[in-house]
Amino acid sequence: MGRAAPHTRDSLTHPFAVDTAWPAPAKLNLFLHVTGRRRDGYHELQTVFQFLDYCDLLYFVPRGDGVCRRVEGPDEIPADRDLVVRAARLLSEVSGAGLGADIRVDKRIPIGGGLGGGSSNAATTLVALNRIWNLGLPFDEIAELGLRLGADVPVFVRAHAAWAEGVGERLWPIDLPEPWYLVVTPPLSVSTAAVFASPDLRRDTPLVDLQAFRSGVVGNDCEPVTRALHPEVGEVLDWLAGHGIARMSGTGASCFIACDTIKQAEAIRHEVPAQWQAFIARGLNRSPLADIMRGL
């Protein structure tokens, strides 16, 4: 079956383009091992990604002049460096359709928290504009484009919890329990580049299998480096450890524990020190982005 013809500059009407809130969910790394370093400097990883029902919301208004710009978004991220703009421009360039978009970002996911907000925003932009511009690109092609923007982007495009290896691009869907998570973030942003550049980062953790993950014989190799660079993250982890098994997502700064019920999570949240941001979210094996695509 051939691809649908893209909208032209004179036919930019789409029932979902303006009013639809496109979700860009946060993710958690349920563990993160650094298993090696490639010659090009990228690190080999093993991790498990699970989504949260805690999302940034993106809105798109198509343009016929090829201009892709962010008209609203977080002050901390310059518009031209925002992954939503880079993703839109990449898709416009690769498709050759000559279309553009005004993009509004309702930012909720903590920046620099290791929750994948930027990668998720990029993935949602690619998926949404592929639909809005009527490009008809298959998801495999969109995921490949996403990898050019960041290693975590493909898992958000594929929209299912996954076991990941390589730089994060080799993905196998996985079904996991979907607990309630309490996520706590100190008031700081962690540089992923700084953590992976550290000479103290362990880079030779042996490969593990699914059984090891399910039995809990896993951890986060980035945690010692992040603790050293940002003692506040260690304070959050130590505090959460008094209430359950505390983990750090990605390179931090966000940390989390799993709870059996939302009532349990709420009881712990009420005790979180005021200087830390905290939210409760449900773990999801299926991304909210997949749900909205089914409804369009």
Binding residue positions for ATP: 110-120
d(CA 121, CA 57): 8
- Distances in Å between the Cα of 160 and the Cα atoms of 47, 59, 108, 109, 174 are 14, 22, 21, 19, 8
Q: Which candidate in 27, 56, 107, 221 is catalytic?
A: 27
**Amino acid identity, residue 25?**
P
Contact criterion met (CB below 8 Å) for 29 and 96 = no
**SS3 call for 181:** strand
Among 109, 114, 111, 112, CA closest to 221: 114
φ, ψ at 129 (rounded to 5°): -70, -30
d(CA 116, CA 120): 6
Among this protein's residues, is 200 annotated catalytic? no
Burial (CB < 10 A; 0-12, 13-18, 19+), residue 80, is: exposed
Q: Which candidate in 53, 56, 82, 152 is catalytic?
A: 152
- Residues whose CB falls within 8 Å of the CB of residue 82, separated by 6 or more in sequence, listed in order: 70, 73, 105, 118, 121
Beta-bridged to residue 48, according to DSSP, are: 163
Binding residues: 110-120
Among this protein's residues, is 152 annotated catalytic? yes
The catalytic residues are: 27, 152
